[in-house]
Chains A and B, each alone.
Chain A
Amino acid sequence: MKRQKRFEMLEKRPIHQDGFVKEWPSEGLVAMMGPNDPKPSIKIENGVVTELDGKKREDFDLIDSYIAEYGIVLDNAEKVMAMDSTKIANMLVDPNVSRKDVIKVTLSLTPAKAEEVISKLNFGEMIMAVQKMRARRTPATQAHVTNVRDNPVLIAADAADAAQRGFPELETTTAVARYAPFNAISLLVGAQTGRPGVLSQCSVEEATELNLGMKGFTAYAETISVYGTDQVFTDGDDTPWSKGFLASCYASRGLKMRFTSGSGSEVMMGYTEGKSMLYLESRCIFITKASGVQGLQNGGVSCIGIPGAVPSGIRSVLGENLLCMMMDIECASGCDQSFSHSDMRRTERMIGQFVAGTDYISSGYSSTPNYDNTFAGSNTDAYDYDDYYIMERDLAVNGGIHPVNEQDIIKIRSKAAHAIQAVFDQLGLPKITDEEVEAATYANSSKDMPDRNMVEDMKAAQELLDRGITAIDIVKALNDSDFKDVAQAVLNLQKQKVCGDFLQTSSIFDKNWNIISAVNNPNDYQGPGTGYRLQNDKDEWERIKDVPFAMDPGHMQF
């Protein structure tokens, strides 16, 4: 065939490097309302669920049993299940119906009914609904802080940098698993240097992650994965009961935690039972609710390429965020994995969450260039900062971060690098040189950092655990080296763990350790003039307006 030149040009556009597939429902490659999804139903006899979404109690799998036991408010269930799904969808969108009244209905849905409700909404209606249904009034976002060499000085500097930009939660992980204790303490010290009250976590294997939290090196955990089919749950080496118990273990140590799920994980792991992605995700959300966990990270997450490849998939992903909010759960809404080569499509991926505002619009925004993102890259990275600020400014939307001044960033990066240098010195860990501190202060990526002896670092990182070092030792180390303010912040965080206020839904802290959560900052959106309005949040609006590269017409020289 003789090629048409415009088609040839189009094929060279970045979008053509993305993967797209046609629907294949029997393998679960369908966004929502697949032909094999069960019909919604519930039967309750003497307070016991005897039928759930078309399945009899004797045929329940582990997930069904768990949801039937703990996941549904039964008082209202038969009445709510008899309601028309379109009517419930309408309540979600209608600003005249309060969030509270919607929750009374949605907590008594079954997974299949909740999926059906979501399927009635178009993308614009989902944005309207998310605006009302997110748990916390004030939106926020979360950052990834990692580098491919697990360089501790750079993690501390990047953490301080991200904290100054306004991220209230920072997440790290490792390139090499044995580095975990170093990454956790570097992130902790950097975060508390950048802005007291910022929460930090280190995403590693479940038991290790809990152990780091118990030592006071982290404040919360997020990568506690749940899945929508029994087989995949088992392959993930857990059951609903083990994950529910783990949730309680975290709370018993005063640590905030949320689960993780997302469309596409069952396709990826090969056992969908022929169900659609949104139906399986709905089960994950109900498992989270059943466990009494305050929050969930969902929205495709690391499997976003799969819903992203099928028709209506990105719409469905916003739908799963909304479904999480309908269960009155904190929602960290994905947008955290690079999945498209097209800048236009990257923007599309987050636009619903960004415009509506969620508890954490991204669960994580890469605070480093994606080269250094050891979560395999995020949808937005450090190179997108200025574009993102301008989107906030153009649309008057609080996307959770704000512009910063270069001098301030140099200063805070330097302080964090010096602070971690001091901690390493006081704790007898491998030396951090002045050259490294200087490099981390001015670095763009780990390519700008001098080499470290990684074998020695890994050995010392393991010994840190064996020696029984805890956050108290870090407080003392910081104090002894004249970082009293950082020491105080690290101690304050431990004190908050004794108090437990941040175990409540959607909790973050401001710089004075005031808690901002769904309990004392509940979303009260009910149409124009209500809810969170950026222009009424005067300090933040000033920060967002004040991009350093805007011209000042009053001081222009002609």
Chain B
Amino acid sequence: MSEIDDLVAKVASQLGAQVNQSSSSSNTDTDNTSSLPSKELDASDYPLYKKHPDLVKSASGEDLKDITFDNVLNNKIGPKDLRIAPNTLRMQGQIAKNAGRAAIQRNMQRAAELTKIPDARLLEMYGALRPYRSTKQELLDIADELLNKYNAKVCSNWFKEAADNYETRKKLKGDN
């Protein structure tokens, strides 16, 4: 699946890496797959907390070492600084795959894409995938949103695939 990361990185750079300027002023560091270590991580790099704390930043770009008790009390660290970053999920995905669990990497891949979607919107997207909730077009619209607004290519395809399968197996709005 790392080719997907490469592709995402390429597309992102072609678009000037500015496709994801959404809610937070998230610096592109945490989102840019080219900042992943050049060599894929494996079980010997695990746990990241002990072995590679330097590689871990929060989604807001804070270094792991700066997430301290004092910084929480001084309000330098808030809830938004306690979110996992897409690249951390990609690194955990590499570790899972190289420990023999490629399916987990695919999940982490989707998860990495979902990190930048606000909580409320994410819950709505999940709701839209439940049976009989959406028309085919509504699912395809979310697929477009995932791709165009959040650069979430794998998840966009997930919605397209669901739309096709729901149509065949009668799980769209009105089929019940």
Residues of chain A having any CB pair with chain B under 8 Å: 61-62, 65-66, 69-70, 73, 100, 103, 206-207, 210-211, 214-216, 230, 234, 237-239, 241-242, 244-254, 289-294, 328, 470-472, 475-476, 479, 487-488, 491, 494-501, 503-505, 513-515, 518-520, 522
Are the C-beta atoms of A100 and B100 separated by less than 8 Å?
Answer: yes
Are the C-beta atoms of A520 and B111 separated by less than 8 Å?
Answer: no
| Contact of B149 with A by CB under 8 A | no
With a CB–CB cut-off of 8 A, which chain A residues contact B8? none
| Contact of B43 with A by CB under 8 A | yes
With a CB–CB cut-off of 8 A, which chain B residues contact A470? 79
Question: Can you give 28 contacting A-B residue pairs, CB < 8 Å?
Answer: A70-B106, A207-B126, A230-B169, A234-B131, A239-B165, A239-B166, A245-B110, A245-B158, A246-B126, A248-B107, A249-B111, A252-B112, A252-B113, A290-B103, A292-B107, A475-B72, A498-B56, A498-B64, A498-B83, A498-B84, A499-B64, A501-B46, A501-B49, A501-B92, A503-B108, A504-B46, A504-B96, A504-B99
Interface string of B79-116 (1 = CB under 8 A from A): 10011110011011001100111111111101111110
Expressed in whole angstroms, the Cα–Cα distance for A290 and B158 within the complex equals 13
With a CB–CB cut-off of 8 A, which chain B residues contact A244? 107, 158
Are the C-beta atoms of A472 and B78 separated by less than 8 Å?
Answer: yes
Closest-CB distance, B128 to chain A (whole angstroms): 9
Expressed in whole angstroms, the Cα–Cα distance for A487 and B100 within the complex equals 37
Are the C-beta atoms of B112 and A62 separated by less than 8 Å?
Answer: no
Are the C-beta atoms of A495 and B64 separated by less than 8 Å?
Answer: yes
Are the C-beta atoms of A520 and B126 separated by less than 8 Å?
Answer: no
Interface-lining segment among B19-27, B32-40, B117-125:
B117-125
For chain B, give the interface size range.
35 or more
Given contacts A472-B82, A488-B69, 10 further A-B contacts (CB under 8 A): A206-B126, A239-B171, A242-B130, A244-B107, A251-B107, A293-B104, A499-B49, A503-B92, A515-B49, A519-B95
Are the C-beta atoms of B43 and A234 separated by less than 8 Å?
Answer: no
Expressed in whole angstroms, the Cα–Cα distance for A40 and B50 within the complex equals 45
| Contact of B140 with A by CB under 8 A | no
Residues of chain B having any CB pair with chain A under 8 Å: 43, 46-50, 53, 56, 58, 64, 67, 69, 72-73, 77-79, 82-85, 88-89, 91-92, 95-96, 99-108, 110-115, 117, 119, 122-123, 125-127, 129-132, 155, 158, 161-162, 165-166, 169, 171
Expressed in whole angstroms, the Cα–Cα distance for A515 and B92 within the complex equals 14
Task: Name the prevailing secondary structure of the B interface residues.
Answer: helix
- Which single residue of chain A is at the shortest CB-CB distance from B125? A245
With a CB–CB cut-off of 8 A, which chain B residues contact A241? 129, 158, 161-162, 165-166
- Which single residue of chain A is at the shortest CB-CB distance from B90? A500
Are the C-beta atoms of B84 and A518 separated by less than 8 Å?
Answer: no
Expressed in whole angstroms, the Cα–Cα distance for A42 and B7 within the complex equals 32
Expressed in whole angstroms, the Cα–Cα distance for A254 and B125 within the complex equals 18
- Which single residue of chain B is at the shortest CB-CB distance from A103? B100
With a CB–CB cut-off of 8 A, which chain A residues contact B103? 70, 289-292
Are the C-beta atoms of A237 and B69 separated by less than 8 Å?
Answer: no
With a CB–CB cut-off of 8 A, which chain A residues contact B155? 245, 248
Expressed in whole angstroms, the Cα–Cα distance for A500 and B89 within the complex equals 7
With a CB–CB cut-off of 8 A, which chain A residues contact B47? 499, 501, 515, 519-520
Closest-CB distance, A420 to chain B (whole angstroms): 20
With a CB–CB cut-off of 8 A, which chain B residues contact A250? 111
